[in-house]
Structure 1
């Protein structure tokens, strides 16, 4: 029996990137369908969030995300550009955001096609894997192709159906909170939330308790 789970994900979250490839590999090896549920990052939902945090919060996060990437052997580099336009010194979020709305709507359009996890992984490898100017040229088109999708088709939908896609994205956020958490990455399986890139093995363990089998079994 195929199990199902929801993965709540942000294209600006380094920890979402550090988790997505491992969740994708899990779904390829084990008989579980993991549905991507993109959400807008805190920088959009709570623009003053970073200004309210202790000074060491950002420093620790940068140290930790590089450490996690090294530990797991995941390519990792500062995003160029950052999906969120933000003043590094003041941590203030800019009013104009040219990247994150497009990315998140593209992710939701991919999720409509059942390929959200693959799209998020391939796109994440550009943004967080060190690709310079990932938003230019053929970078995103090639990432979409690797996920089995057509970027031109996704972009057209993201523009024409932006209002409906945003409603679905906001519904994802509500579902995340109803599932018992507020942050990403969070996998919700059988009503139980598993928050963070360090809960993947535990989520797999729980699924195995519920009868999860390998796909080639």
Structure 2
């Protein structure tokens, strides 16, 4: 392992260390109590984002009958460097937010708003936020996403949105739909349960989770089919998703087909520092919830990814591609193993029950790059770009947060 890789690995391990995170939370609470400050949750709202809208709808019930102080800010849409495929994301987010809203029990049909409606709503919601009137803000947002009449407002929203975006940036984030409490970020309805758990732990909340994360697999069955998983050896979310996809497909007898693609950076798509930091912290939190090791990362970007992909077609022929992918992602995400070295890669290969001598020969053959491009193009054809993504028959979904949705697909198929 190079000195740079060693240093970066230790920095990430420090950042994601749970004991350190717990001590930081305890320190924050002690300081808050000494100052006599309330439990202040900060919400950053992007009026163009359907995930922000769904989260906003949930917040009045979260803070009802509590002494939680909810501070709301309007923010700009995220910059291009954190949303490299803006059009595809907008289309996908609308569909996914609708699925999420339905699962959470919100009776609404999301209709994409016009630019004129968005401009009108910015003013009305900014005025409601200034008055700390969360119920009115919810009603205005409902009107926006339901194509209903939006009340007129003369409030000059530009300064409020600029100030909100500045606060978001100063605190270390880059997009709306976020909640912030005591140094930790919570994205959308999918991460609200973490905030609620934390608030319960400090006595600020007594009610149960608004949107509990479904357990997956929740059942078993016998389903004939194939689940395609588009993944990257560099993606921490792919690491978590792979472990979960294996368990889910095993429970239903579904074939798991792995489709590797180049990491976003190796495809020329930017991933800024603020986004990388949020991802590793979020994955650490998710890994703890799921009982998976995480944190001793050796970034496989470049050579290590290429070496790993070079072995995948051969491992597939041996019936060991899933095991190799599982070992590789675990090694670079939680065991501090450098796959750029023969020592590191050999350990990964042999743990998968494969021959190191044979694998050395396969490393010299470039069969993988054409396959990676085919997989990327297929992903794009399904209007997706990021990993992990999944396809089952004609249904596609992005992200390990939707494993419960994939299980619903399996259950629907099982009932046919």
Structure 1 position 200, deviation (Å)? 1.4
Q: Return closer, same or farther for 1:155/1:177 CA change in 2, 3 Å cut-off.
A: farther
- State the TM-score, normalizing by the size of structure 2: 0.43
Say if 2:236 and 2:280, in contact at 8 Å, map to a contact too: no
Aligned ranges for residues 100-115 of structure 1 at < 5 Å? Answer: 100-115=305-320
Structure 1 position 149, deviation (Å)? 2.8
Which one of the candidate residues 63, 76, 83 is aligned to 2:281? 63
Q: Give, in whole Å, the separation in 1 of the partners of 2:246 and 2:343.
A: 23
Say if 1:35 and 1:116, in contact at 8 Å, map to a contact too: no
In the other structure, the counterpart of 2:333 is 128
Q: Return closer, same or farther for 1:37/1:198 CA change in 2, 3 Å cut-off.
A: same
Which one of the candidate residues 295, 320, 332 is aligned to 1:77? 295
**Does residue 243 of structure 2 align to residue 21 of structure 1?**
yes
After superposition, give the CA deviation of every residue in 1:176-208 in whole Å (9 maximum; x if it has no partner). Answer: 112331110111111211211111121122112
Which one of the candidate residues 376, 393, 413 is aligned to 1:173? 376
In the other structure, the counterpart of 2:394 is 191
After superposition, give the CA deviation of every residue in 1:6-57 in whole Å (9 maximum; x if it has no partner). Answer: 111100000000111111122333210011111111111115x12xx4x632
After superposition, give the CA deviation of every residue in 1:48-70 in whole Å (9 maximum; x if it has no partner). Answer: x12xx4x6323322221111111
Q: Return closer, same or farther for 1:131/1:145 CA change in 2, 3 Å cut-off.
A: same
Give unmatched runs, 5+ long, in structure 2: 1-222
Q: What's the Cα RMSD here?
A: 2.4
> Aligned pair count?
194
- Structure whose CA Rg is larger: 2
Larger deviation, residues 3-12 vs 98-107: 98-107
In the other structure, the counterpart of 1:87 is none
- State the TM-score, normalizing by the size of structure 1: 0.79
Structure 1 position 75, deviation (Å)? 0.3
Higher relative contact order (CA 8 A, sep 6+): 1
Q: Return closer, same or farther for 1:31/1:194 CA change in 2, 3 Å cut-off.
A: same
Structure 1 position 130, deviation (Å)? 2.5
In the other structure, the counterpart of 1:41 is 263
Say if 1:35 and 1:114, in contact at 8 Å, map to a contact too: no
Q: Return closer, same or farther for 1:191/1:154 CA change in 2, 3 Å cut-off.
A: farther
Q: Give, in whole Å, the separation in 1 of the partners of 2:351 and 2:338.
A: 19
**SS of equivalent residue, structure 1 residue 159:** coil
**SS of equivalent residue, structure 2 residue 414:** coil
In the other structure, the counterpart of 2:349 is 144
In the other structure, the counterpart of 1:201 is 404
Q: Give, in whole Å, the separation in 2 of the partners of 1:143 and 1:14.
A: 17
Give unmatched runs, 5+ long, in structure 1: 85-96, 213-217
Structure 1 position 135, deviation (Å)? 4.4
Q: Give, in whole Å, the separation in 1 of the partners of 2:274 and 2:248.
A: 34
In the other structure, the counterpart of 1:88 is none
**SS of equivalent residue, structure 2 residue 334:** coil
**Does residue 320 of structure 2 align to residue 98 of structure 1?**
no
